[in-house]
Amino acid sequence: MAAVPNISFEDIAAAIRVAQLPPCDVVLGIGSGGTVPASIIAYQLGVPLRIDWFSYRGPDNSPVHDTPRLLRGSHLPCGTRHVLLVDDVSVSGRTLKAAAKRFADLQVTTLVLKGHADIVLMPHLDTCVRWPWHYCCSSDHHEHGP
């Protein structure tokens, strides 16, 4: 069995720096996986950050609901016309679609680190990976850390 590669914050920041990010009024992260990349992107673009929390997949990444369920949604700043919707991974696209559906009257661009979206920052990743927010605080940090 092959080892699951660790992706570092530096890897993610480098991919964000070279990406052709669209102008937007707000970055909306999908919690929990999209929180970190959305934060970095919002900071780089100098725009507000919001987080929407959905329930769809369990700890083993298998779907636990038929459709993603919004647990806690964000209010967008007044005058928002373009939303950059960010998650770490999109496998089926269901969570991104559910989040985008909330803003059907706005222009929404989807962005993920890995998977399927309008913008994919790390398209070369075709296996499971360990994101830094999963391994940086674990007890096996020295074994699996950067």
Q: Is the pLDDT of residue 144 over 60?
A: no
Mention every residue, 6+ apart, whose C-beta is less than 8 A from residue 18: none
Please give the structure tokens belonging to residue 14: 């480098």
Q: How far is CA 54 from CA 25, 67, 70, in A?
A: 22, 10, 4
Q: Can you give the pLDDT at residue 61?
A: 67
Instruction: Outline where DSSP puts E strands in 1-128.
Output: 26-31, 49-55, 69-72, 82-90, 107-115, 119-120
Query: Average per-residue pLDDT in the chain?
Result: 87
pTM: 0.85
Q: Can you give the pLDDT at residue 140?
A: 41
Q: How confident is the model at residue 27 (pLDDT cuts 50, 70, 90)?
A: very high
pLDDT digits (tens, 9 = 90+) for 35-91: 999 999 999 999 999 999 987 766 776 767 778 888 898 899 999 999 999 999 998
